[in-house]
Amino acid sequence: MNTTRGKFIVIEGIDGSGTTTQANRLVEYLRTNGKNSILTAEPTSGEIGRLIRKFLLHEIHFDEKTMALLFAADRTDHIEKTINPSLEKGEIIVTDRYYLSSLAYQSTGAETTFIENVNFYHVLPDITFLIDIDPEISLKRKTGSNEFYEKLELQNKIRKNYLWAYEKYKDNHRIVLMDGELSIEEIHREIIRVSQSLMIF
C-alpha cells in the first residue's frame, strides 16, 4: 500500500482565464506520465454545489456573506468526500478553484475576515497557480455564457482581490502567479516546470 501523502494542486483565476483548460491539461499530463491523478472542481457536483449553480444561473439569489458560507460548506464536503481520501491514497489531486476563489469573488460583497474565518480549518494546497489576465481579454472568451460574476466591472474587482490575496498569502500558501495572456501550451509548460522545480511531482 502507498503510505506517502499525495499532493494537492489548485488552479485559480477570473472567469475565462483558463482554469478549467489548465486543470484538464495538467491531469492529462500527469496520467500520461504514469502518476495517479484526479481532477475535481468547485463548486462541486454535489448537493451544495448544485444549489450554488442555481445562484450562478440567476435562478435564486443570496447575498455574498451567504454565498461565502455556501462555498465554504461545499468545500468542507469536497475535502471530506474527495480531497482527503485522495491525498491519503497518495494521489495528485488537481482542483479547478478553491479557497482563493472565495476570497476574490465573495469579498466583492462580504468582509474579507469573515471569508478567512469560515475557511480557516480547510486543508491548504501544496501549490496554487493563479492565472492573471485582463478581464477585457478573458470575458471575450466567455461568449454565450451569462453567469452571475461574468460582468466586466465585477471581474475587474475580482482580479484586484486576487492580486491582493496573492500579495498577502503568496509565501505562506505558496501561490504562483502566471501570465494569462500566454498561450494554453506556454502556461501548461510553465505549470509543469514550476511544479517540478518545487518537487510537487
CA-CA distances (angstroms) from residue 197 to 1, 83, 105, 136, 200? 27, 24, 30, 32, 8
Residue 53 amino acid letter? R
Binding mask 149-178 for ligand TYD (x = CB under 6 A): x-----------------------------
125 part of the interface to ligand ADP, by CB under 6 A: no
Among 147, 167, 179, 186, binds ligand TYD (CB under 6 A): 147
13 makes contact, choosing from ligand TYD, ligand ADP, none, with CB < 5 to 8 Å by partner type, with ligand ADP
Q: Looking at 69-77, 104-112, 159-167, 181-189, which segment touches ligand ADP (CB under 6 A)? A: 181-189
102 part of the interface to ligand TYD, by CB under 6 A: yes
Q: Using CB atoms within 10 Å of the CB of residue 153, give its burial: 0 to 12 exposed, 13 to 18 middle, 19+ buried.
A: exposed
Q: Order of strands across the sheet with 127-132?
A: 37-41, 92-96, 7-13, 127-132, 175-179
Considering only residues 10 through 29, tell me which ones interact with ligand TYD, judged by CB under 6 A.
15, 19-20
User: From the CB of 158, what's the least distance to ligand TYD, in Å?
Assistant: 8
Strands (E) across the chain are located at 7-13, 37-41, 92-96, 127-132, 175-179
Cell of 113: 475576515
42 part of the interface to ligand TYD, by CB under 6 A: yes
How far is 68 from 111, CA to CA, in rounded Å? 10
Which stretches of the chain bind ligand TYD, using CB under 6 A?
A: 15, 19-20, 42-43, 56, 71, 96-97, 101-102, 105-106, 147, 149
